[in-house]
């Protein structure tokens, strides 16, 4: 793929947008933290509901923030990819498309961020 002047702008828009859109999901989980742990947050990978919830919060808050500023962008996108893949195909695996659609949209976006990298307008590229 030939890099154009707009490639870095596209990477910036995608990275910041995908990060900013995920943060409210993490904030909502913090607001409901005690309730989520009381009702057994989903544990699709068998590490326990609390650890799964903490991993989701790590991805949705810290990793999303790292995307916004463009620091360790590819590495930060991996937990987000994992979280959205688990949400789409494990948690909502047997649900109707409408239940899993948002997680799939986020998954596609985070895969694109991983493929594009941080771009020129990021902390990763500061020298």
pLDDT for res 39: 63
Q: pTM of the full predicted structure?
A: 0.91
Q: Which residue has the tokens 């947008």?
A: 17
pLDDT digit string, tens, across residues 17-72: 999 999 999 999 988 887 776 666 778 888 888 888 999 999 999 999 999 999 99
- Give the rounded percent of residues in the chain with a pLDDT score beyond 90: 69
Query: Mean of the pLDDT values across residues 63-83?
Result: 98
Kindly report the average pLDDT of the chain as a whole number: 91
pLDDT for res 69: 97
Asked if residue 28 lies in contact with residue 51, where contact means CB atoms within 8 angstroms, the answer is: no
DSSP H/E element including 47: none
Count of other CB atoms within 10 angstroms of residue 67: 29
Q: Which of 3, 6, 13 is nearest to 112 (CA)?
A: 13
d(CA 27, CA 67) in angstroms, rounded, equals 16
Q: How far is CA 122 from CA 13, 18, 70, 75, 107, in A?
A: 11, 14, 4, 14, 21
pLDDT digit string, tens, across residues 85-96: 999 998 888 889
């Amino acid at each position: 793929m030939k890099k154009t002047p707009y490639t870095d702008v596209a990477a910036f828009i995608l990275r910041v947008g995908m990060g900013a859109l995920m943060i409210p999901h993490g904030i909502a989980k913090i607001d409901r933290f005690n309730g989520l742990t009381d009702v057994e947050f989903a544990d699709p990978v068998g590490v326990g509901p609390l650890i799964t919830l903490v991993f989701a919060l790590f991805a949705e808050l810290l990793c999303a923030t790292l995307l916004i500023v463009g620091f360790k962008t590819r590495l930060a996108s991996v937990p987000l990819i994992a979280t959205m893949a688990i949400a789409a195909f494990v948690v909502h695996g047997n649900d109707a498309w409408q239940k899993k659609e948002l997680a799939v949209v986020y998954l596609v976006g985070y895969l694109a961020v991983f493929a594009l990298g941080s771009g020129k307008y990021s902390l990763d590229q500061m020298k």
